[in-house]
Structure 1
Amino acid sequence: MKTWTCDVLVIGSGAGGIAAALRAAHDGSSVIVVEKDRYLGGTTAISGGWLWVPGNEHGVREGDTREEAETYLRHLAGNSYDATAVGAFLDTVPEAMRFFTDEAGIAFHYPEKAPDYQMDAPGAKVSGRAVTVGATDARILGEDRLRMQPYLQSYTVFGYMPEVGPDIAQFLKANRDPAAFRHAARKITATWVQTLLYRRAHLRTNGNALMTRMVAAAREAGIRMWTSTAAEEILRGPDGVVTGARLSGAHAGEVRARLGVVIASGGFSGNPELRRRYFLHDPHGDDHTTPTLGHDGDAVRLTGPLGGHVDDRPHQPASWGPVTVFRGLRGQKRWFPHLRAFGLPGLIAVDRDGERFANESSSYHDFGVEMIRNDADREGTFGWIVADDTAMRRYGIGWAKPWPFPQTVFRRAGYLHSAPSVPELAAKIGVPAAALQRTVEDFNSGAACGEDPRFGRGSNWFHHFKGDMEHRPNPNLAPIEKGPFHAVKIEMGDLGTYAGLAVGPRNEVLDEDAQPVAGLYAVGTAAVSVFGGGYPGYGANIGPAMVFGYRVGRDLGARAGERVKRSQPPAAAVSGGSEDLAVRGRR
């Protein structure tokens, strides 16, 4: 059996794993990252690429305070609030962000407005906490350019992924603004040409841009990154200290890790057995679709023999995100996560009874909480997005793109359902016609005036941020009145689990007696969430993954330094050793 040796072994190549690898390598540790997928980047690479990082230097200059962040997180977590974990997170944010900017070369963008998801909660902020990344040229990856995880195809527009911010705003109005149309046409044309010539476009946006930057930094640091390589077993010595892992796939064999193993392999929302245990809305294990990549419960499987176990204290076991599951034109299974569309004018969401059940402009997570609650005593968790033709032609509904895209494509795929009238649409989707008609009429009476008396939709900055800021009198509200009418089915999905491996203050994996498993760490959605079941804002998964990944990498790097000092002979006996160490520290 082939054996490799390193200081730190990282399992998983998403934001948390690469963050840990980068920080450990910065202090001179040799690092190997193993990824079971054929591509690098994990779920982060198909995400929006945001980080929710209160206390970053930019936000502090805008007036954000530690006390406000703690107040806000305490409100969201309720009885699940973990003051120690929150404190560790907030303590580390400034240091971690400086490292990623100065050492990893990540070009963060601090939007003028990126509201927290619960703007009516104490301590919420309109801006300063949510951070995104600028578009990146993938050629900085060199020969690894094609090893980066591709976009989630259903999210692209003719292969181009609009960048969060002004870019996507231009795409949303490209069918009614000539300048916006030209902008979109340039982006799409460049994507086609580069894909034809180079197999994939050079410009990477959102989470793909973030991971392109991080993987490029890892390459520069000399970190070995192995794809198509799965961790099968965590190894430890006679003293119980973790010593590495047994691998299968492209690099079958064993890796001996002198300092420790970091598990960053994602959560368990792709594992039916674990969902049956922890997702109460999914009692049969199949009533759920996750768009995450590789979240198959590997962290639980790998650590179980060592006493690792799931900490299910968060009041929500996952960060929810409604999805639509459909078949592509060639019959392949596809899905679309609905992370924005509910907030646009002229759309509502109804349940199987034809009734609205939540504020459609709340966050996808909070909407998901209400969707689960609404269907708690019923078979299956699902609903429908309903829109009139004005909204459909202007905004589309998720994967069903607006005019001039032909609607027949989306109907043929079983994604979009259309009918001349509201009662006829109700009959098509199997909801009571009278109830749906009444729901639409009740909604229209307030929407015409820019009001939603029932749920308060469009009443704060976050709602407006999700809507059409050019629409008046309310960016989130317009009557549903022009036929034909359209509907898209939504089911429950997630963006990653909040329940995860129990970890200690240094993110060391804890056994069933709450004792650290020496040499074993977990970060990202492999570990229990710091937010206790709440979803504070854009990047609530990636922000903590990178911050705690940095923290673990820093601690491991410090251990490397201590080991070198202990092994160093007395100064008088050293001949050239200090020069060797200086070179190692710069690697």
Structure 2
Amino acid sequence: MTTEIWDKTVDLLIVGSGAGSFPAALLARDHGLEPLIVEKCDKIGGTTAISGGVLWIPGNHLMARAGIADSHERAREYLDAAIWHDGPATTPARREAFLRHGPEAIEYLERKGMKLKRPKLWPDYHSDLPGAEQTSRSLLAELFDLNELGPWKTRLALSKMPPVRFTMDELSSLILVKRLWSSRLAALRLALRMLRMKFTGQDLRGGGAAWQGRMLQIAVRENIPIWTETPVIRLLTDQGRVIGAEATHQGRTMRIHARRGVLLNSGGFARNAAMRAQYGRQPVYPQTTNAGPGDTGEMIEAGISLGAAVDCMDEALWGVSSLTPGEQLPPGATAADGTPLPFGHHFDISLPHAIMVDQNGMRFTNEAASYMEVGQNLYRRHAETGKGIPAWAIIESRHRERYPWGSAAGKTPKNWLSSGYMKKAATLDALARECGIDPIGLRATVNRFNGFCRDGIDADFARGAKAFDNSHGDPTVTPNPNLGAIENPPFYAVAIYPGDVSTWGGLVTDEHARVLQPGGTPIKGLYATGTATASLCGRTYPGAGASIGPALTFGYIAALHIVADQELSGESG
């Protein structure tokens, strides 16, 4: 490849604008290198921008500020206990790199102007394992006024959901507004905040919009070039080394030379039907994904075409969603512009007076476990019996009176019932007949579960036995805040299907974020992070933000390696 054909030359080409892109670009710029971020969509921020914006970073300095002792060794003990998949991306070296550089990356971003917040209570998802944190290793961005972006405001990716005017740690409190005075005070603070916004003209956002909004602000201030609507067509190589990419920009094909390397931070393939059919678990329900529009997998395919290894391609960031009898989105699961917004039921199903059963009427999971675990168990039950999908949420009257379900809190929309999305019956037997559930199995399951509720101990799945479960239960329900009997009619049911927020497998990378071939040899000049890669955590999701935290960290690590690699060999460090 000769230099005269290049339309643009930079040191570091970053494909995609998710969580790892801005730290990599900023660090490269600090060391005198020229970065360029290219984003195929017309909005910046990737799936991170439309997500909850939570980062899982063990040993972060905000924990130390709060007087909470965390250590590299303790966090490693937890990861070693939680990660059961022994794959090429879950190596001890990658775990060490994440634990060593994650806190460093967060401190770096704070010095750059990121405003951070640590939730007081967001336990690790497997909080019963050795080394688990019972309070929080997760981090959030403080609320951010999008108006501070000026003309860049319209270029930030935003969720189509109603604007989130609170930080995500406030959500669990707001959910219990009918139950706790502290939750009512949280709702009052939110109302006052929105009143101030009305008079001041602020456009405060929490979640991923706050994180990526402030990161975009910092990047603009640091003169990081960002090209939107610039899809990469293919990666360019010379003698086995990735030296750039061919992309479409402003209506023409451009060849971009990357002197030091290319970093892929382009997302997974949740919205690529062909890839999900080839690699994903079946059955798959594309209508239940909440992945960003750019989650289409082209850069994973580009890496594969260069000989890259992949792992866990059948895995996703699972959760559970719900559909109508015709497997359509239910009423209310759309944005104002008609964009699909599938319901997620992580919080809903974990609260008292609801369980999840298969078509035999049998429970198969701890409903209050992490969303990833519940989704995996749904697929596992279906593989075992053929009667797991759809499963059914069985919901008692007190749940409908007290807690949210989907888009409705404390009441049931009439069109949920008239459409058949939510079934309603005076008896469990009648409900079972409506849903095609074995009535004998359902009665036996409910009777057994109600006994657990009286004793406070779920002898089958240990629901409510962990700090994580309790963190999204109802403390007014005793003796177990996650267990509430199913005994007061009417009874309700909703068909439950797998959902996801992205895929969780992809290109295999090493501790320097270099993309590897099947034998473990790096592809020179090619780095990757985020859901374009096979996760550091394998098939486990250890805590809130365990996708964004490592994505950010390995973007930072890639830039560290590129900066240190003065000879452009791709082998140093």
Distance 1:231 1:33, change over 3 A: same
Amino acid corresponding to residue 296 of structure 2 in structure 1 = D
Q: CA RMSD in A?
A: 2.8
Instruction: State the partner residue of 2:41.
Output: 37
Instruction: State the partner residue of 1:566.
Output: none
* Rounded Cα–Cα distance in structure 2 between residues aligned with 1:287 and 1:460: 32
* Rounded Cα–Cα distance in structure 1 between residues aligned with 2:390 and 2:340: 18
Using structure 2 for the length normalisation, give the TM-score: 0.87
**Greater CA deviation, 328-337 or 417-426?**
328-337
Query: Any idea what SS the aligned residue of 2:407 has?
Result: coil
Instruction: State the partner residue of 2:315.
Output: 317
Matched, 1:84 2:93: yes
Q: Is the 8 A contact 1:328 1:334 kept in 2?
A: no
Q: Is the 8 A contact 2:165 2:206 kept in 1?
A: yes
Q: Which runs of 5+ in 1 are unaligned?
A: 564-587
Instruction: State the partner residue of 1:272.
Output: 273
Matched, 1:395 2:403: yes
* Rounded Cα–Cα distance in structure 2 between residues aligned with 1:249 and 1:346: 54
Distance 1:45 1:413, change over 3 A: farther
Q: Is the 8 A contact 1:49 1:542 kept in 2?
A: yes
Query: Any idea what SS the aligned residue of 2:108 has?
Result: helix
* Rounded Cα–Cα distance in structure 2 between residues aligned with 1:47 and 1:479: 33
Task: Figure out how many residues of one structure are paired with residues of the other and give that number.
Answer: 545
Query: Any idea what SS the aligned residue of 2:83 has?
Result: helix
Distance 1:415 1:131, change over 3 A: farther
* Rounded Cα–Cα distance in structure 2 between residues aligned with 1:479 and 1:44: 37
Distance 1:332 1:135, change over 3 A: closer
Instruction: State the partner residue of 2:549.
Output: 543
2:378 to 371, 393, 396: 371
**Greater CA deviation, 334-343 or 406-415?**
406-415
1:134 to 133, 137, 142: 142
Cα distance, 1:245 vs structure 2: 1.3
Amino acid corresponding to residue 369 of structure 2 in structure 1 = S
Query: Any idea what SS the aligned residue of 1:375 has?
Result: helix
* Rounded Cα–Cα distance in structure 2 between residues aligned with 1:432 and 1:380: 13
Cα distance, 1:371 vs structure 2: 1.5
Amino acid corresponding to residue 260 of structure 1 in structure 2 = G
* Rounded Cα–Cα distance in structure 1 between residues aligned with 2:36 and 2:304: 23
Cα distance, 1:344 vs structure 2: 0.8
Amino acid corresponding to residue 362 of structure 1 in structure 2 = A
Instruction: State the partner residue of 2:225.
Output: 224
Q: Which runs of 5+ in 2 are unaligned?
A: 324-328, 569-573
Once the two structures are superposed, residues 151-193 of structure 1 have per-residue CA deviations (whole angstroms, 9 ceiling, x without a partner) of 242xx4xx445432235513531588665554454456678x6
* Rounded Cα–Cα distance in structure 1 between residues aligned with 2:129 and 2:497: 27
Instruction: State the partner residue of 2:364.
Output: 357
Cα distance, 1:2 vs structure 2: 8.9
Instruction: State the partner residue of 1:423.
Output: 429
* Rounded Cα–Cα distance in structure 2 between residues aligned with 1:343 and 1:122: 24
Amino acid corresponding to residue 543 of structure 1 in structure 2 = G
Q: Is the 8 A contact 1:88 1:505 kept in 2?
A: yes
1:531 to 527, 537, 542: 537
Matched, 1:27 2:31: yes
Distance 1:467 1:272, change over 3 A: same
Query: Any idea what SS the aligned residue of 2:408 has?
Result: coil
Matched, 1:478 2:484: yes
* Rounded Cα–Cα distance in structure 2 between residues aligned with 1:547 and 1:351: 39
Query: Any idea what SS the aligned residue of 1:165 has?
Result: helix
Cα distance, 1:341 vs structure 2: 2.0
1:342 to 317, 325, 349: 349
Query: Any idea what SS the aligned residue of 2:216 has?
Result: helix
Using structure 1 for the length normalisation, give the TM-score: 0.85
Aligned-pair identity (%): 33
Once the two structures are superposed, residues 74-128 of structure 1 have per-residue CA deviations (whole angstroms, 9 ceiling, x without a partner) of 122235151111011112122111101111x222212222211111111111134
Summarize the alignment of residues 379-528 of structure 1 with structure 2, pairs less than 5 Å apart: 381-403=389-411, 407-411=413-417, 415-528=421-534
**Greater CA deviation, 511-520 or 33-42?**
511-520
Query: Any idea what SS the aligned residue of 1:529 has?
Result: coil
Amino acid corresponding to residue 247 of structure 2 in structure 1 = L
Cα distance, 1:544 vs structure 2: 0.2
* Rounded Cα–Cα distance in structure 2 between residues aligned with 1:486 and 1:268: 35
Q: Is the 8 A contact 1:138 1:204 kept in 2?
A: yes
